[in-house]
Structure 1
Amino acid sequence: MEAREMEPNYVNSRIGEKIKDLRNKNGLTQQELADRAELTKGYISQLERGQVAPSVVTLLDLIECLGTTPSEFFKETEEEHVVYSEGAFFEKIDEVGNSIQWIVPNAQQNQMEPLLVVVQPKEQLQEDKPHEGEEFGYVISGRIRLHLGDKSYVVKSGESFYFRANRNHFIENTGSRPAKFVWVSTPPTF
């Protein structure tokens, strides 16, 4: 914990910010919160600006009036990770050189799983059985043949595909150079 986080003014400011955020989320005015907690509007105003420190009893009353619990109130949320660099990617290369890169670490925990895939010439990826969800792809270079049930589709560089994954499906490269594409599955299945 940084020294700054231990300073009383910092703690008072964080408590005040959280109270103000919760008050606004609940659609309450300072006066309405003050009335519920049997405090004055001026005290709520000072509290939200970090100018006063509430007693433990007063803080617990305010937390209850705002419809939350002490554990939720003091829980620090991690900042959402948004950008991922190539160093964080996980790659699997099969025996013929086809490559699948998971370009968002731990995406299996999310609603969609983006992959960067390279299929070598005259090779194919393993067939997927029917599953719930949808799949999307965008071909960056080369071309692929998407087999979907008893039909197949050629998808060239600059084109995309989108389908419900309720049929057997797989991708092959019938061309003479590697095919590279982004493949997104929801929910994650790889």
Structure 2
Amino acid sequence: MEIGNRIKNLRLSKNLTQEELGERTDLSKGYISQLERDLSSPSIETLFSILEVLGSTPKEFFDEEKGKQKVIYEQRERIFFEDEEKGYHIEWLVPESNEKEMEPVLLEIDPHGGF
């Protein structure tokens, strides 16, 4: 596992320089650079301090599934509902989406139907 690259990506996502991260964690810019290039390994305490400054938890940091979110779904994965009485059918294009997030759907309404 490349901890250094993950630290670097997290730091960059927070728009921090190595120097700024070092100041906030009481570490030198050089040490941050060594960590990001996997030339040095942080202690657990140091890693937790870095993660706290970067707004991440150890679980989030080490979660392998993060970043591997599926972005292409096949038609067979869609959830389909049809209401013949009202004259429409709807397909949920992303099966695991929910009401609190964007919910992409395909809605087809018959010429004299309603939703």
TM-score, normalised via structure 2 length? 0.68
- List per-residue Cα deviations over 1:15-53 (Å, max 9, x = no partner): 212221232233322122223323222221121122222
Contact preservation (8 Å) 1:86, 1:103: no
Q: Which residue is 2:53 aligned to?
A: 65
Match of 2:6 among 18, 24, 28: 18
- List per-residue Cα deviations over 1:140-176 (Å, max 9, x = no partner): xxxx247xxxxxxxxxxxxxxxxxxxxxxx26xxxxx
Amino acid at match of 1:69: T
RMSD: 3.0
Unaligned runs of 5+ in 2: none
Q: Percent identity?
A: 38
Bigger Rg over Cα: 1
Classify 1:78/1:102 alpha carbon distance in 2 versus 1 (closer, same or farther; 3 Å): farther
CA distance in 2, matches of 1:78, 1:25: 13
Unaligned runs of 5+ in 1: 1-10, 120-143, 147-169, 172-190
Q: Which has the higher helix share?
A: 2
Q: Which residue is 1:35 aligned to?
A: 23
Contact preservation (8 Å) 1:34, 1:41: yes
Contact preservation (8 Å) 1:37, 1:62: yes
Q: Which residue is 2:105 aligned to?
A: 114
TM-score, normalised via structure 1 length? 0.46
